[in-house]
Each structure stands twice: as structure tokens, then as C-alpha cells.
């Protein structure tokens, strides 16, 4: 079985990798995306990790429905630990038995690479690389960015995709995007501005074939994360603080100062994530075709 070779990974990417690994640990899922809640929960209805997993499978199915027939090679950029890649590979191969369907994964994280290889039993090629640094030896029929476009600058995404795509190839994007250009700071600010991404793709010769706004269908996952964070994360933090206050008061004073200095603001923002998303962002699946 192959194993990912080591590469130089920028510090910002290492922080993102750590957050993704944390998310994987919490959900215990092979998918790292928000999922697609086909049935929207009623207000106040309990959201569970089990329901998230159902939504994640529905999302992969939804994504698959966007892959045009005739596409036989896919590069899954930011493939995570392989859940999505394997799902697409298995389902497309079995629904199109006459076509030789090939999928490859790419991510700049050795830990994800090791899990990817384990979960796909080494049958799906994995490239340990940032998209920006990737040099391919062949072209692909479709490049997939499933919740990974936000980590790659617009120019790198457009130029890299143009270089890697075969004649009339496709780009499939599924991600959060900013619909409000004034929203530039905060938890979701690394998401691309929808109009800017669209303009750059059109300028490079891409045409939008199909798109769907699924903001409402991913939003319950934000509610679930906030709810779990509030219930387990903050409650545990408060308990530790209470114990520290009794056992080691000077350490409590120091920790309280550090909390107010570095954590209070991001936590307040995290708790307001759903409101921020509804106000400034959307989540779209977009299929683009490059016509040269």
C-alpha cells in the first residue's frame, strides 16, 4: 500500500488541518462536509450526529447527480479522509459499468492522506499536495472542490483548474460563498465572494452549466455544531474554571484573564454562526464547463 510522502506545509494550512482533524474526531464520520438535510428539522427539534451522517450521505449523492455522464476522470481536490471520494468512485463505477471511471484525491495533510489510503485500501491514488503546488502528468475530465475552494485563492483555483482540465472539462464546486462583499472579517470570511469567483471563472472561459443554492439544507449542521459546542464545550470549560477557582485561585485568575483576552470574542462569534451565515453567506453547488 502506498503512503504519502512528506511535504512542506504552510502554518496556516497546518492550523486548518488541526481543525479538520478535530471535526473528524467529533463526528466520527468519513465525510468532512456539512451534509444535505433533505428534510429540514422543525424549530426546536433535536439535531443529532446520527442525523448529520444521514445528511452527509445525501450530500454526496446530491454532488454525484451534478457529475455529467461521459466524465471518466475526476480529481477530488481537498479530498479529506476519502469518504466523499470513495462514495463517488463506488457509486459512479457501479451505475456506469461500461465506462472506465477513475478518481484521484489530493490534500495537503499527511494524516488525512494516511486515513484516505487506509479507507480506500490504497485503490484510489492520493496526492499529498496543496492544489497550488500540484503538477499533474495528465488532464482530468472534472475537478471537484467539495468544501475546499475556500482554502485556495481565486486566481490559483481558476488558473490551476484551467491547466488541469481536459478539453471541455468540468469544474464542480460546492461550498459556502460570501454574498455580501462588506463581510470581510470573522469566522466565514475566508469564503470566496460569489461575484468575484464567478467573474474570474467567466473571464477564464468557463460557462455555468447548472447551479443550486442549498443554504437551507446545510444550515442545520451549523445549528448542530453550535448546539454541541454550547452544551458540551462551554459546559466543560465552565466546570474546569469552577474547579480551578476552588483549587488554585491564582491560576484561575490567570486563565480568566487569558479567556477574556483571546477567547471571549471568538466564542461569542461562534455562537452567532447561524445568524452570520444567514445574513452574509450562501452555500451553492455549481457546475462549470471550460470551453476553449
Which residues bind to ligand SAM, rule: CB under 6 A? Answer: 13, 16-17, 20, 31-33, 77-80, 83-84, 106-109, 112, 130-132, 146-148, 151-152
Residue number of the CB closest to ligand SAM reads 78
Taking the complex as a whole, how short is the minimal distance between the CB of residue 114 and ligand SAM, in angstroms? Answer: 13
Q: Given the complex with ligand SAM, which of 5 and 261 has the nearer CB atom?
A: 5
Q: Return the number of the residue (10 or 70) whose C-beta is nearest ligand SAM.
A: 10
User: Cell triple for residue 246?
Assistant: 476552588
Cβ nearer to ligand SAM, comparing 60 with 198: 60
Which C-beta is closer to ligand SAM: that of 106 or that of 225? Answer: 106
* C-alpha to C-alpha distance for 22 and 72, rounded to whole angstroms: 34
Contact 208, 288 (CB under 8 A): yes
Q: How far is the CB of 256 from ligand SAM (least distance, A)?
A: 33
Which is nearest to 4 in space by CA: 145, 125, 157? Answer: 125
Nearest to 99 by CA among 75, 71, 78, 127: 71
Query: CA angle 63-65-68, nearest 5°?
Result: 110
Smallest distance, Å, CB 275 to ligand SAM? 22
**Least distance to ligand SAM from the beta carbon of 201, Å?**
18
Look at residue 38 and give its three-state secondary structure.
Answer: coil
Task: Output the smallest distance, CB 106 to ligand SAM, in A.
Answer: 6
Q: Could you tell me which of 174, 169, 172, 128 has the C-alpha nearest to residue 150?
A: 174
- Asked if residue 110 lies in contact with residue 209, where contact means CB atoms within 8 angstroms, the answer is no
Amino acid at each position: 500500500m502506498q503512503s504519502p510522502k512528506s511535504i512542506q506545509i504552510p502554518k496556516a494550512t497546518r492550523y486548518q488541518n488541526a481543525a479538520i482533524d478535530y471535526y473528524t474526531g467529533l463526528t466520527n464520520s468519513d465525510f468532512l462536509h456539512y451534509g444535505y438535510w433533505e428534510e429540514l428539522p422543525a424549530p426546536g427539534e433535536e439535531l443529532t450526529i446520527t442525523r448529520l451522517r444521514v445528511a452527509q450521505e445525501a450530500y454526496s449523492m446530491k454532488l454525484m447527480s451534478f457529475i455529467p455522464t461521459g466524465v471518466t476522470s475526476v480529481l477530488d481536490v481537498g479530498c479529506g479522509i476519502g469518504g466523499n471520494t470513495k462514495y463517488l468512485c463506488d457509486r459512479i463505477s457501479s451505475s456506469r459499468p461500461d465506462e472506465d471511471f477513475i478518481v484521484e484525491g489530493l490534500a495537503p495533510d499527511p494524516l488525512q492522506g494516511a486515513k484516505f489510503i487506509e479507507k480506500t485500501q490504497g485503490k484510489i491514488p492520493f496526492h499529498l499536495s496543496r492544489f497550488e503546488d500540484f503538477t499533474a502528468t495528465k488532464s482530468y475530465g472534472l475537478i471537484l472542490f467539495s468544501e475546499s475552494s475556500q482554502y485556495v485563492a481565486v486566481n490559483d483555483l481558476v488558473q490551476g483548474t484551467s491547466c488541469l482540465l481536459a478539453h471541455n472539462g468540468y469544474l464542480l464546486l460546492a461550498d459556502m460563498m460570501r454574498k455580501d462583499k462588506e463581510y470581510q472579517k470573522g469566522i466565514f470570511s475566508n469564503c470566496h465572494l460569489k461575484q468575484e469567483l464567478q467573474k474570474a471563472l467567466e473571464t477564464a472561459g468557463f460557462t455555468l452549466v447548472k447551479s443550486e443554492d442549498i443554504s437551507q439544507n446545510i444550515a442545520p449542521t451549523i445549528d448542530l455544531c453550535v448546539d454541541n459546542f454550547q452544551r458540551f464545550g462551554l459546559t466543560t470549560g465552565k466546570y474546569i474554571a469552577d474547579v480551578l477557582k476552588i483549587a488554585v485561585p491564582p491560576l484561575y485568575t490567570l486563565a480568566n484573564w487569558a479567556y477574556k483576552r483571546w477567547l471571549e470574542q471568538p466564542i461569542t462569534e461562534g455562537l452567532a454562526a447561524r445568524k452570520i451565515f444567514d445574513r452574509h453567506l450562501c452555500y451553492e453547488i455549481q457546475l462549470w464547463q471550460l470551453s476553449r
